[in-house]
Structure formats: C-alpha cells, structure tokens
Amino acid sequence: MQLLEDRIRREGVVKEGDVLKVDSFLNHQMDVSLFEAMGREWKRLFDGCGVNKILTIEASGIGMACIAAQSFHCPVVFAKKTATKNIAGEVWRTSVRSYTHGRVYDVIVSRDYLGPADRLLLIDDFLANGAALSGLLDLAMMSGATVVGAGIAIEKAYQPGGELIRSRGIRVESLARIKSMSESGGVEFC
C-alpha cells in the first residue's frame, strides 16, 4: 500500500535491535485517516469472506483494528496481556514472547467473546517472528472460531513470521512488506 510505504519512508526510524519506530503515525500518535485507508484496503482484500469479528492484541493493534471494524461493521475483541492466572474455564489463554521486550507473557480472551460462530480477521501492527499472530491463532483455534485471515500493517518479510503463519494455511495480507532495513540505509520494501 503506497500510502503506508511513503509514510514509513518519510517518518520511520530504524533502531538497534531490528526495530522500526513508527511512533509519529502508528504506535504512539495515531493517524486515524491513514488507519481508515488501511481499514478500507483490508475490507477490499477480505470482502466476501464473511468476517464477523476482528481479533487483535493489546496494545498497538487496538486502534487500527477499531477503525478497520468500521469498514467491516463488526465488533473488535483484543487479547489482553496479563500476569494474573484467571480461574480455568473463564478464558482462552496462551503465552506469547514479546518481540520488543523479550519476555513471555500470557494473553487471554473471555470465552464469552470468542467461539465457534466467529469468522475472524486477525489484525496487528507488525509481523516479525510471528509470535503475536501465532498467539492469536492459538486462541482462535481453542475457541473453535474460523480464521478468515490476518491483516498486518507492516511485515518485516526478511524475518520468519510471514512464512511460519502462511505455512499453517493462513492467508496473510500485509499492507507494507519490508525487504530489508538498517540504521544507516533505512527501509527497503519488497
């Protein structure tokens, strides 16, 4: 998606640890008009797939998922990161290794909000090693929901996540795919 690539070129900053900072429009300050365009693009790509719920993960996915939901006219559920062990039976639970913080945390979704009637579009801001998206897939599978596909804003295509998720038969639509990036050379797209 040209609009997103242009924005990353202009404002993205590559930090050490293979992290692209996009805080000025996506991860801290949020450009809602850009989110609207992204939502419309995911709607175009997944039109006719019967998406009736969007599932995302706390925190960065929530804003763009909510705006996308206005195109899909469906609710958004976000997987909550938690340290508390809820009573078994109330929630679907899995664990995820954080790309940016390195640690492993539990994510949960109430069983009230995810079940076999759901046809899910998974949404997240970045796809790197695929841990966050795998976590969402785990929760979806436990609940008996159908995963229609995944909408990703920025896929770092040189990292293994995209291949990992696609090899599980999941359709992944990334709006910007980064071929390579470095602190000195900036970002190159696929």
Contact positions vs ligand 5GP (CB under 6 A): 19-21, 27, 60, 99-100, 124-133, 161
H or E element: which one contains 68? helix 60-72
CB of 118 or CB of 124, closer to ligand 5GP: 124
Work out how close the CB of 57 gets to ligand 5GP at its nearest, in angstroms, rounded to a whole number: 6
Q: Which is nearer to ligand 5GP, 20 or 120 (CB)?
A: 20
Q: Among positive and negative, which fits the CA dihedral 66, 72, 75, 78? A: negative
Burial tier of 158 (Cβ tally within 10 Å: 0-12, 13-18, 19+): middle
CB burial readout 161-178, b (16+ within 10 A) else e: bbebbeeeebebbbbbbb
Q: How far is the CB of 41 from ligand 5GP (least distance, A)?
A: 19
Q: How far is the CB of 74 from ligand 5GP (least distance, A)?
A: 21
CA distances in angstroms from 114 to 91, 121, 125, 184, listed in the order given: 9, 12, 21, 44
With respect to ligand 5GP, which residue has the nearer C-beta, 6 or 90? 6
3-state helix, strand, coil in the chain (%, to 5): 30, 35, 35
At its nearest, how many Å lie between ligand 5GP and the CB of residue 87?
Answer: 27
Q: How far is the CB of 89 from ligand 5GP (least distance, A)?
A: 27
Kindly tell me which of 42 and 99 has the beta carbon lying closer to ligand 5GP.
99
Query: How many angstroms separate the Cα of 168 from the Cα of each of 12, 61, 104, 147, 172?
Result: 30, 22, 22, 11, 11
Q: Which is nearer to ligand 5GP, 52 or 80 (CB)?
A: 80
